[in-house]
Structure 1
Amino acid sequence: MKHALVLRHLAFEDLGVLAHILPDYGFDAIYHEVGVGPLPVAEIAACDLLIALGGPIGVHEIEDYPFLREEVAAIGARLRAGKPTLGVCLGAQMMAAALGAPVAPGPGKEIGYAPLHLAPVANSPLAALEGAHVLHWHGDAFGLPEGAVSLASTPLCPHQAFTLGSHALALQFHAEAEPEGFESWLIGHTCELGMVGIKPGELRRQALVHGAATARAGTKMFRSWLDGIFS
């Protein structure tokens, strides 16, 4: 089987729908819990697919979380080698930073299910998300790396996704999230929700309305991207 290494920063921000998809492409997925033990730099370089997941910290918080420096550097080396890499939220921000783009707090937080404005890019892997309300959960934003193609935006975030060649896809939002696990997000991020005055019940209502459809659209989107590399 092919080897997918998954860099996880929070237990409940996991592969989601990707866990059901990856075996169809011949992958076994192995989680590395970032911050628990040394970063597997050699495995990051050698795996068939790297997936860097989300988390509540920011790339700019290197002084508080020194492992970020090594993680960004390892991701950058992989990207420069042209190896398949997928980043979600924090993972996407690390990809942008590794490619020299700025990453910093944005003008406001985006938390909840909301649509994207998809860029008119031919054969965009995000085409399946047309009309979908994806899950947003971030306060930071990234610039567009040199040579990358911006795929989507929102009013607060001009770059919600980008591709670099055919091997790298960075997503600021969470198309992988499954509604069955959403309550864990509400529990795990309770402090952040309290700080910004968002009631869990409102997000729970949004997940009930949009969660299943988003998961279906996300599944199609990830399959489209993986088809372009591994089929």
Structure 2
Amino acid sequence: MTTTDLPGDRPFVLLATRAEDRPADEEYELFLRFTGLPPERLRRIRLERDPLPALDLDEVSGILVGGSPFNASDPPERKSAVQRRVEAEMAALVDDVVARDLPFLGACYGVGTLGTHLGAPIDGTFAEPISVVDVTLTEAGRADPLAAGLPPTFSAFVGHKEAISALPPEAVLLGSSPTCSVQMLRLGSHVYATQFHPELDVDGIVTRIHAYAEYGYFAPDELDLTLAAVRRAPVTEPSRMLRTFVERYAR
């Protein structure tokens, strides 16, 4: 199926929170490339810049969420006014999304937003340095339509200071890695989140490594080690999920 063959004309929405223009623009381009969507069918909203506008969820095909420098588990006094606003807007939106079981796929930051909705513990227990890890699908993950075409274990890019440390019973675990127990989850039938980044290729993650070198993801003298870590294995499979998501939910 090509982009011109997708049913309907309702756009997907990409919620973004990166303040730096280069990684923000590159993130959008990566989502366009891996979903196969034309720009007119992927509406980007930069929440770090502007308040979330009113969204008529009946008029969208689905919602995608990119990664973020924000951490849900940061103490309130360390959160900026922008972060607090974004979290409040995302919380209200996710409540509505989950109630509707609206197609939703959150990458990395999506785990924090869904975990907060669930009241799950989110902390540094399963933090992972910027690297490539092996994600293994659970039995439920192997049967899930979003994972169609993925091998049982695949390499993926990660880099996060927090993660869900105990999955609530209403969520379905779809994938894990040796160093992070919740790499992919589903709520209801159509609401998904991944701790790994399905939208990244190696050039994209290298851009982020340089852009966020002073954000505490690695020590100042570990830049070269971190760049080497994301090249330890080819990452080719996770991006398939984005195309599958679009083909499944375009309307």
Q: Name the TM-score, length of structure 2 as normaliser.
A: 0.77
Structure 2: runs of 5+ lacking an equivalent: 1-8
Counterparts in 2 of 1:40 and 1:24: CA distance versus 1, 3 Å = closer
Q: How much has 1:62 moved relative to structure 2?
A: 7.2
Query: Match of 2:92?
Result: 73
Q: Does 1:56 align with 2:60?
A: no
Q: From 93, 98, 102, give the equivalent of 2:121.
A: 102
- Tell me how far apart the structure 1 counterparts of residues 143 and 39 of structure 2 sit (CA, whole Å): 24
2:214 partner amino acid: C
Aligned residues: 228
Map Cα deviations across residues 16-38 of structure 1 (whole Å, 9 max, x no partner). Answer: 64312434599711111112121
Q: How much has 1:225 moved relative to structure 2?
A: 3.8
Query: Match of 1:150?
Result: 173
The structure richer in strand per residue is: 1
Q: Does 1:218 align with 2:241?
A: no
Q: How much has 1:172 moved relative to structure 2?
A: 0.5
Query: Match of 1:18?
Result: 31
- Aligned 8 A contact 2:10 2:250 in 1: no
Structure 1: runs of 5+ lacking an equivalent: none
Q: How much has 1:174 moved relative to structure 2?
A: 0.8
Query: Match of 1:229?
Result: 249
- Tell me how far apart the structure 1 counterparts of residues 75 and 55 of structure 2 sit (CA, whole Å): 21
Q: How much has 1:100 moved relative to structure 2?
A: 3.1
Counterparts in 2 of 1:200 and 1:93: CA distance versus 1, 3 Å = same
Q: From 114, 119, 126, give the equivalent of 2:147.
A: 126
Counterparts in 2 of 1:104 and 1:208: CA distance versus 1, 3 Å = closer
Counterparts in 2 of 1:56 and 1:26: CA distance versus 1, 3 Å = closer
Q: Does 1:6 align with 2:19?
A: no
Q: How much has 1:111 moved relative to structure 2?
A: 2.0
1:138 partner amino acid: H
- Aligned 8 A contact 1:85 1:168 in 2: yes
Q: Does 1:40 align with 2:62?
A: no
Identity across matched positions, percent:
19
- Tell me how far apart the structure 2 counterparts of residues 146 and 69 of structure 1 sit (CA, whole Å): 24
Secondary structure of the 1:217 match is: coil
- Aligned 8 A contact 1:3 1:28 in 2: yes
Root-mean-square deviation over aligned CA pairs: 2.8
- Tell me how far apart the structure 2 counterparts of residues 83 and 93 of structure 1 sit (CA, whole Å): 18
2:84 partner amino acid: P
- Aligned 8 A contact 2:61 2:249 in 1: no
